[in-house]
Structure 1
């Protein structure tokens, strides 16, 4: 007897957990789409239907019955894009997998914007200096520039560094996937072993990497080469895929912190 009751309760618990999980996944699918507002409207209709039944409002109940009866067909039509999206994810086996968090999505968008702008500027030899804050705060350097506080896009970054633009001289500092400021002054490295062919941008990138754990990217105005500094080291002429991997290590929270940096290109000149 005890065994049957235990199995019954266990089955109920599993049933409730499965339903809760399915509801959660449905919410994650429709989140950020127009379906959210439609769900709110459906909630209002169901509340009106319940209240009309509870208080015996026959006319209202008749209307709500019609709405609920034909609402199923309307939901299928209205939610068609979301339902197709859910079925596609189910077919790929991703419906019940772990999806990216909002912060991870922002980081991916930041990486994509950075890569697009870096390719554009490197191809056209547009000088750029971009520093990405990590754990060490960079408020002192942000205060030296012009506050922007904007979402990151490739168009914004490119326009900042266009030659003779008002903000092109100095560094852009990125903090929590936000472009915090432009035209910032970074400390120049006084390391005597740095190659003499490196200019002010590269020395500033090395200098800030010596006093913070920021990842700083430089696009050379003379050669179009992309260089990256981290932990007091500069590695020059980095390929696109290697730059992207470094950005993922810096920005994506699901990358293990124990993963070693895999540099490419030429080191320290």
Structure 2
């Protein structure tokens, strides 16, 4: 809809400018008006376009302020031409009623010209067309009679008082005789052509009139039209030539209107294009010059807190006069609205966000309002004004820095372990720091003075993921609000925390396994016949412990835990062997103590399905361990000789 309205406005301007130029160009000042049009197009519209494309802001500002004065100056300078054109406006509507060509009166003119040429009597006849010849008519004597061959011959009779001047025809009327025509200043006129020919050529250069000349010396007939002089090829064809130049025979009104419109449009194609360009330039100039007010939201940011010297979009960066000083508004990084007033073109160049820097040069500055007049805008545009929206400018506050050394503790950290593998857990009590827990904090006195053991500095939350295992190294960052407030770690500047993420340990219960007496040393296999396990050591009591095989958050009575626990205990019962090796009996006489050993017949990592574990879940951190709760050594009993022989 907006685009349609813009196009409609340009079309209305085009029609109005074209009608005005079509009227003005029919005056004798046509070359002057044409030059004026080119000056406006090239001087005003062209310069405006160049200044907009190349962003020549100073030139654009000068054009905005001087265009109105230039128009007024042109009106004053060309006042006579404008007055004459306006005065002719009323005359033209009445005078155009009989301007349509008619074969009858053209034939009378052609007959008179032929007779004058045969007698070698000089003649100069001007046919008024669109351009008014009132200024020429005023130089002669008014006639006001209908065209006839006898009248024209009598007017150019050598003995007549009016024969030296020109006769002006307006349609079928002889308007005036003895008129003085402007002489052509061209130097290409043949030497055999006299003053009459120069006058005819001069009038055709300034207007669209057609002028017929009869040479007094040779009787030659010439026609001047559009600044060109041509000889009539045959006096007998003069009537046909004049009919063609003046528009031919009359058509019916219904047939004449479309033809006239098409002819007018085609003949005025260049003027229409110029009118459209001028209208587009005028509309664009007006559109760009319309003043608007647009709100922009900005954040007042302390440059010392961010460590930046250049603002981002939507920021006014405040730079303190020296190090160790922070400048901020009373409410911190405050968001405020700025009302910007300028032309549409200027506001469009500003884009969607403002960026500016407010640098305090006075070291004695103790706070006060942020004056937009002292802001250095990244996009500086002449003629644009800035002001704070209600409730007015923000108040800046000066704050000095302070240093304090504090000890960072594991309890000061916020650890998000929600995404950690449920078979693993975070051992917060085992967290340690590098390079050490004693940190020197530097920042505004109002922030640092409040920090102590009961009110430690806040850090950004540490977020652990499902792939974190073992001792996870994390760089600690102060919370965003403390960073924006200007607090930082000075010594050391970086602090790392090492967070243990270890598998969850569970005791699944106790089992009993029979202890076998074996001999793994072939040379001592005979000892099996002389030794036996005492009755109290023939069964071992064991505890099964898992690490990372059962989720930490699983309820003990849940189906998953019960089934997995049963599967693990069953696997241990079936695949764990407990034994004592008589080959390990001491060599010394009287030694009977041997250790109890355990061995897996099948590795549990190779059989996750038997443990009710999903395939692909086992890694290097999971453990299945069996602890021997009964005695780790056993005293073998010697067999009596009778039992040895049996």
TM-score of the superposed pair, with normalisation by structure 2: 0.23
User: What is the match of residue 235 of structure 1?
Assistant: 230
Task: State whether residues 125 and 220 of structure 1, in contact with CA within 8 Å, keep that contact through their aligned partners in structure 2.
Answer: yes
SS of corresponding position for 2:102: helix
1:248 matched to 2:243: yes
User: What is the match of residue 88 of structure 1?
Assistant: none
1:112 matched to 2:110: no
One of 119, 125, 131 as aligned partner of 1:136 = 131
User: What is the match of residue 157 of structure 1?
Assistant: 152
1:224 matched to 2:188: no
Seen in structure 2, the aligned counterparts of structure 1 residues 181 and 104 have a Cα distance that, compared at 3 Å, is closer
5+ long unaligned stretches in structure 1:
1-101, 259-269
Seen in structure 2, the aligned counterparts of structure 1 residues 116 and 191 have a Cα distance that, compared at 3 Å, is same
The within-5 A match list for 1:167-206 is 167-206=162-201
Task: State whether residues 140 and 178 of structure 2, in contact with CA within 8 Å, keep that contact through their aligned partners in structure 1.
Answer: yes
One of 115, 121, 124 as aligned partner of 1:126 = 121
Deviation at 1:251, TM superposition (A): 5.0
User: What is the match of residue 575 of structure 2?
Assistant: none
CA distance in 2, matches of 1:126, 1:138: 24
CA distance in 1, matches of 2:100, 2:182: 32
Across the two proteins, how many residue pairs are aligned to each other?
159
Deviation at 1:237, TM superposition (A): 4.3
SS of corresponding position for 1:187: coil
The within-5 A match list for 1:95-110 is 107-110=102-105
Point out the structure with the larger helix share: 1
CA distance in 2, matches of 1:140, 1:212: 11
Point out the structure with the larger strand share: 2
**Larger RCO (alpha carbons 8 Å, 6+ apart):** 1
Deviation at 1:193, TM superposition (A): 1.1
CA distance in 1, matches of 2:183, 2:153: 24
5+ long unaligned stretches in structure 2:
1-96, 264-646
User: What is the match of residue 420 of structure 2?
Assistant: none
Deviation at 1:244, TM superposition (A): 1.6
Seen in structure 2, the aligned counterparts of structure 1 residues 141 and 104 have a Cα distance that, compared at 3 Å, is closer
SS of corresponding position for 2:223: strand
Seen in structure 2, the aligned counterparts of structure 1 residues 179 and 103 have a Cα distance that, compared at 3 Å, is closer
Task: State whether residues 213 and 223 of structure 2, in contact with CA within 8 Å, keep that contact through their aligned partners in structure 1.
Answer: yes
Seen in structure 2, the aligned counterparts of structure 1 residues 112 and 105 have a Cα distance that, compared at 3 Å, is farther
Seen in structure 2, the aligned counterparts of structure 1 residues 104 and 144 have a Cα distance that, compared at 3 Å, is closer
TM-score of the superposed pair, with normalisation by structure 1: 0.55
SS of corresponding position for 1:166: coil
CA distance in 2, matches of 1:164, 1:251: 34
User: What is the match of residue 209 of structure 1?
Assistant: 204
Deviation at 1:196, TM superposition (A): 1.8
Output one character per residue of 1:23-70: Cα deviation in whole Å (capped at 9) or x when no partner. xxxxxxxxxxxxxxxxxxxxxxxxxxxxxxxxxxxxxxxxxxxxxxxx
SS of corresponding position for 2:125: strand
4+ runs deviating over 3 angstroms: 102-106, 251-258
Output one character per residue of 1:178-229: Cα deviation in whole Å (capped at 9) or x when no partner. 0000000000001011112210000000000000111100011011110000
Task: State whether residues 113 and 154 of structure 1, in contact with CA within 8 Å, keep that contact through their aligned partners in structure 2.
Answer: yes
Task: State whether residues 227 and 238 of structure 1, in contact with CA within 8 Å, keep that contact through their aligned partners in structure 2.
Answer: no
Seen in structure 2, the aligned counterparts of structure 1 residues 104 and 179 have a Cα distance that, compared at 3 Å, is closer
Seen in structure 2, the aligned counterparts of structure 1 residues 212 and 139 have a Cα distance that, compared at 3 Å, is same
Task: State whether residues 124 and 211 of structure 2, in contact with CA within 8 Å, keep that contact through their aligned partners in structure 1.
Answer: yes
CA distance in 2, matches of 1:247, 1:192: 27
